[in-house]
Amino acid sequence: MANRFNESFPSFILLHSEFSPGLRIIDNFSDHISFNICDKEKDNKHCAHQLDELALEFSLFPSTTIIVLDTSIKNNVVTSILHMHTYNRPIIKMIYHAVYITSTKAELFAIRCGINQVLNLDNMSKVIVITDSIHMARKIFKLSVYPYQVQSVAILFDLHKFFMYHENNSIEFWECPSHLR
């Protein structure tokens, strides 16, 4: 019976090692992960100013990479755009197009690609991900079963490597409402 469900729901992998007690990233590296939500009670100018300050401050650190993500759908075509900046290097722009997938899946794919790029850089200790889909970024670390769990496991695997490389490595997710551009 279990095989039949795996054929119907290939993303059902609750027994994957990334979700085993003692191996979960959220259990072992919770102090390396943070989420920063834009305060809805304050005005948009405050949120935009906060993100501008963040970008200016951390763009001066050679061990920090800033990743800005945006995903949109038009006529069943999902476009994900990723901008990545690391001190004293040109800004990298990656554009991904996919047909007939959800923006959620595209957003997770873009997060994974950004983290993969950081893993290929030397001496990186901090990753800042700025996204309008902070709720999706939070789902990466949830232990419940959901349709995009396969992508989450891949991201968790990459983050595990990043965190194991040095004990001070960290990742921050920052919310940027899409209307702020």
For 79-93, how does the pLDDT look when each residue is reduced to its tens digit (9 = 90+)? 888 999 998 888 899
Does 24 reside within a domain? no
pLDDT in tens, 130-165: 988 888 888 888 766 667 777 888 888 889 889 988
The confidence score (pLDDT) of residue 142 equals 77
Can you tell me the distance from the alpha carbon of 173 to that of 35, in angstroms, rounded to the nearest whole number? 5
Residues with Cβ within 8 Å of residue 2, at least 6 apart in sequence:
none
Residues with Cβ within 8 Å of residue 53, at least 6 apart in sequence:
none
CATH, residue 104: 3.30.420.10
Does 127 reside within a domain? yes
Q: Which residue has the higher pLDDT, 30 or 147?
A: 30
Helix axes 103-119, 149-165, angle to 10 degrees: 20
For residues 41-67, average pLDDT = 83
Does 31 reside within a domain? no
Does 10 reside within a domain? no
Q: Which residues pair with 93 in a beta bridge?
A: 83
Angstrom CA distances, 90 to 65, 68, 95, 173, stand at 12, 14, 16, 22
Does 35 reside within a domain? no
Structural domain containing residue 99: 42-180
The confidence score (pLDDT) of residue 28 equals 78
Does 150 reside within a domain? yes
Instruction: Count the domains in the chain.
Output: 1
Does 1 reside within a domain? no
Residues with Cβ within 8 Å of residue 36, at least 6 apart in sequence:
172, 173, 174, 175
Does 11 reside within a domain? no
